[in-house]
Structure 1
């Protein structure tokens, strides 16, 4: 499963990239606004930090014409950009056209299996299914992931299911169990994937024993 960080903060992307396991970055208008920098400059700097990764940048237009115009512009900035398009009738129509032009699309704000099916039919490269927000309305976000993964597999769609709105590490574990292709998460959740109290205890014990024995690697 590919791991993405969901952020508009360049410093978080740089830190995650240093670990050597980051496959991509997802942004959205809210995350970019919170970062307090220009949209294009932020996206291009992220692209430069992860030149071989997949960087999702979102349109804000709501008509087919505006989505196409903005999508073409954003895609022209760097070859590793994937254009994020909202799950609406206009978004579906625009996605179909963008994919015909060779522009990769990340269809966002997907909350149901039927929406995932439409995104796959339209040729979306990524289908961003939101688990946390579905859970918030007393439904089962992971059931939607399961259904989306199955329908993509059943019909051989080229789309990949991207698990979004991740709130904690168990969302990542459950997504992996279900065979989701990608998980994108806030930087703090990415950090939590490393953490376990027994790791900390074990490392401290090893180092204490080593130091007490006066051992060295380099003589």
Structure 2
């Protein structure tokens, strides 16, 4: 399973890249706005820094404007994937962009049926938002599991990109289900690294070694 970092923070991207864990980046208007400054400059920096896919999202809500924005977004780099919301106008845009060879990430997916529509129209990725579903007392991971079954049934090439990840168990469950990608915040990624028994074990080893060296 590949790890995408859900951020527009260049320092976080650099740090995770240095760890060797960065397979791509996802952004959205909220994340970009959080960083401040000129979003175009920020997008260019991210695309040049990341070797894998970078999802940049349209803000338009009509088919025509989405296509126009998508053409602009892909100019930032060959690694750009255009995020399109799963609405009727978005479905029209997904089909046209796929036909033009522009990769699409169908975002704001909350049901297997929505994912099926995006896959039929040639989306490169579908992004089920598991955390938001959990927040409504629905099972985000059950949605992912059903999408995995459907895609396997019909040999869809669309990849499942698990989004709205809020804790390490989301990552583990996504991996066990067989999701292709998980996009996670920097804080959640660092949680995956740490474990209290690792910390206490290392402290004990170092303490024992120090005592041994002192004779």
TM-score, with structure 1 as normaliser: 0.95
Unaligned runs of 5+ in 1: none
Q: Residue 168 of structure 2 contacts residue 191 of structure 2 at CA under 8 Å; is this kept in 1? A: yes
Give 1:33's aligned residue. 33
Give 2:20's aligned residue. 20
Give 1:73's aligned residue. 72
Q: Residue 47 of structure 2 contacts residue 76 of structure 2 at CA under 8 Å; is this kept in 1? A: no
Give 1:11's aligned residue. 11
TM-score, with structure 2 as normaliser: 0.97
SS for the counterpart of 1:91 is helix
Q: 1:158-181 CA deviation, whole Å, 9 max, x = no partner?
A: 100010001100000001010011
1:1-219 matches, within 5 Å, as 1-50=1-50, 52-214=51-213
Count of paired positions: 214
Unaligned runs of 5+ in 2: none
Question: Residue 41 of structure 1: CA displacement?
Answer: 1.1
Q: 1:127-155 CA deviation, whole Å, 9 max, x = no partner?
A: 00000100111111111000111111111
Question: Residue 210 of structure 1: CA displacement?
Answer: 2.3
Runs of 4+ in 1 over 2 A off after TM superposition: 209-215
Q: 1:32-73 CA deviation, whole Å, 9 max, x = no partner?
A: 0111122221111111221x2111000011111000000011
Question: Residue 214 of structure 1: CA displacement?
Answer: 2.6
Query: Cα RMSD over matched residues?
Result: 1.1
